[in-house]
Amino acid sequence: MTHSVLTALGLTELESGTYLGGGEWSTTGGAGLVESVSPTDGQVLARVNATTQAEYETIVERAQAAFKVWRQTPAPRRGEAIRLCADALRTHKDALGSLVALEMGKSKPEGDGEVQEMIDIGEFAVGLSRQLYGLTMHSERPGHRMYEQWHPIGLVGIISAFNFPVAVWAWNSFVAAVCGDISIWKPSPKTPLSAIASMKICNEALKAGGFPDIFFLFNDAGNELAQRFVDDKRVPLISFTGSTKVGRHVGECVARRMGRSLLELGGNNAIIVDPSADLNLAIPAIVFGAVGTAGQRCTTTRRLFVHESIYDEVLGKLKTAYKQVEGKIGDPTDAANLMGPLNSQDAVKGYLDAIARAKAQGGTIETGGEAIDRPGNFVLPAIVTGLTNDAEVVQTETFAPILYVMKYSTLEEAIELQNAVPQGLSSSIFTTNLKNAEQFLTAWGSDCGIANVNIGTSGAEIGGAFGGEKETGGGRESGSDAWKAYMRRQTNTINYSDSMPLAQGIKFDL
Ligand code: NAD
């Protein structure tokens, strides 16, 4: 029987994973099936027909044709299209938020929050559609004018991870759309239904508003089409969100063909708690950061550096809070639960393997560290002490709720340790000491793309540019001027004089 959450969104047990444009979803099979499996009980929610090579070709050709029209549409009019998408998502927020919870496994409030993020970035993009500003420069030559303008880049390829199955698409495609681009999305094979539902909601809103196709979708049963996508010269920008391992490969492939890539990869985020910290703020932030989404956020708090003078107190409070969370682990669609399952059995294996490695490397499991004996992919959130920052397991992003707690004695030492990992996504300090807060934010402070004071590492707002340094990939998405990644810059110099002076005073007299 079709799950009621699917029915609410008009989804059936066999779905097409291919939006070909013109209101047409593929009806052919033959490229394999992608199974959407509930992480809560292991049941298959629905099967999705993957995209064929021929269908992929149709999508790219239609997207190229769509771009010719869309790039001539005034940007504020493009903003109107995205306003309609945001409105439609508002209408379907409850149902889509439930589907995200059901299929990905995050809690219902977090699923709803993810859809809210889509709405928020939609509204941001509407405003942006009137603010795609270029600069005007003073020419060194008389009778000349010089300025820069931003043109759409063309087709934007979006490859997304399972843990933010809908918001990452909206961050990219809504901003790309107001920039004048057409986007093609390849979602994670673990969350195809959330992608299909988002695509249907937005494409129906666009059609009802009289807008042409700007969003396309394909699903890949393996990685063959994804690889073709990454190598496809007709797609000038690939925006990739996922693991550092796959992202490194994608970045290399795109660079080889001189394309552009925007990489949003793994994190290994830390919080520093200094002796002046307000623990009434710090404890809930650490627990949400480490346990929220069952540790499956790129910004999840994975390392905690606590000043030696308050170490025992902080560890004690955390262990008490973790016991409270343990009583609220369960069905993620039940809004009363704080933590759902991991997304897959592979993730459970990864968690157990990391716990075993932590023990082997000298760590002590303070709480958790086991899978829960019930159907689905449930584990207990773990706190590990006794390891140093350079331990192999601490240096690695394990996509699960494991928090490594370590002591420090000086702020310089804490900052050095927090920076001493390959990744550079998110970081925080809890302090009431202004000097310490400012030290943390200096050029010799945190080396991450995100550095916070008195809030945790996760839960970024859409208004800022999101992304990180080092092996996190260097890309920036969402707010601020991240839109520039989706456009090409053109510098224009216009001579309105009667002479032909050369720059740098060069003489070339004929
Ligand atoms: P993953 O790397 O396994 O998969 C990501 C995507 O890449 C999927 O759509 C997958 O099908 C696709 N893929 C796999 N092989 C490919 C290939 N050869 N060519 C092209 N695409 C290919 O990641 P995941 O397990 O889905 O997500 C978890 C990871 O994503 C974590 O490391 C997390 O930190 C990271 N993440 C980062 C951010 C960020 O903004 N920095 C956000 C969310 C998730």
Tens of pLDDT, residue by residue over 173-214, are: 999 999 999 999 999 999 999 999 999 999 999 999 999 999
Separation of CA 352 and ligand 1 centre (Å): 21
Q: Give the pLDDT confidence score for residue 159 in this predicted structure.
A: 98
Homologous superfamily (CATH) of 269-463 is Aldehyde Dehydrogenase; Chain A, domain 2 (3.40.309.10)
Pick the catalytic residue from 55, 103, 117, 264. Answer: 264
Separation of CA 163 and ligand 1 centre (Å): 9
**Residue 95: partners with Cβ closer than 8 Å, 6 or more residues away:** 5, 8, 9, 197
Separation of CA 358 and ligand 1 centre (Å): 25
Separation of CA 230 and ligand 1 centre (Å): 13
Name the percent of the chain in helix, strand, coil, to the closest 5: 40, 20, 40
Is 264 catalytic? The answer is yes
- Atom 41 (ligand 1): residue with closest C-alpha? 264
Q: What is the mean pLDDT of residues 444-458?
A: 98
Q: Give the pLDDT confidence score for residue 127 in this predicted structure.
A: 98
Task: Report the nearest atom of ligand 1 relative to the CA of 244.
Answer: 32
Closest C-alpha among 12, 22, 471, 11 to residue 267: 471
DSSP string, 473-488: -S--EESTTGGGGGEE
Question: Residue 34: is its pLDDT beyond 90?
Answer: yes
Strand partners, 493: 146
Question: Residue 29: is its pLDDT beyond 90?
Answer: no
CB-based pocket (< 6 A), ligand 1: 159-164, 186, 188-189, 223, 226-227, 230, 241-243, 246, 249-250, 264-267, 298, 397, 399, 425, 472
Using one digit for the tens of pLDDT, what is the confidence trace for 64-122?
A: 999 999 999 999 999 999 999 999 999 999 999 999 999 999 999 999 999 999 999 99
d(C-alpha 39, C-alpha 377), whole Å? 6
Q: What is the mean pLDDT of residues 456-471?
A: 96
Task: Report the nearest atom of ligand 1 relative to the CA of 267.
Answer: 34
**One fold for both 2-265+473-490 and 269-463?**
no
- Atom 43 (ligand 1): residue with closest C-alpha? 298
Q: What is the mean pLDDT of residues 31-37?
A: 97
Q: Where along the chain do its domains lie?
A: 2-265+473-490, 269-463
Q: What is the mean pLDDT of residues 290-313?
A: 98
Dihedral sign from CA coordinates of 314, 319, 323, 329: positive
ipTM for the assembly: 0.99
pLDDT tier for residue 375 given thresholds of 50, 70 and 90: very high
Q: Length of the chain, please? A: 510
Task: Report the nearest atom of ligand 1 relative to the CA of 220.
Answer: 11
Q: Report yes or no: 169 and 241 within 8 Å, Cβ to Cβ.
A: no
- Atom 40 (ligand 1): residue with closest C-alpha? 264
d(C-alpha 357, C-alpha 418), whole Å? 21
Q: What is the percentage of the chain residues whose pLDDT exceeds 70?
A: 100
Q: Report yes or no: 31 and 205 within 8 Å, Cβ to Cβ.
A: no
Task: Report the nearest atom of ligand 1 relative to the CA of 264.
Answer: 41
Could you confirm whether domain 2-265+473-490 is CATH 3.20.20.140?
A: no
Question: Residue 459: is its pLDDT beyond 90?
Answer: no
Separation of CA 161 and ligand 1 centre (Å): 4
Q: At what angle do helices 75-91 and 167-178 cross, to 10 degrees?
A: 150
Q: Give the pLDDT confidence score for residue 112 in this predicted structure.
A: 97
d(C-alpha 202, C-alpha 179), whole Å? 17
Question: Residue 57: is its pLDDT beyond 90?
Answer: yes
Dihedral sign from CA coordinates of 184, 118, 485, 179: positive
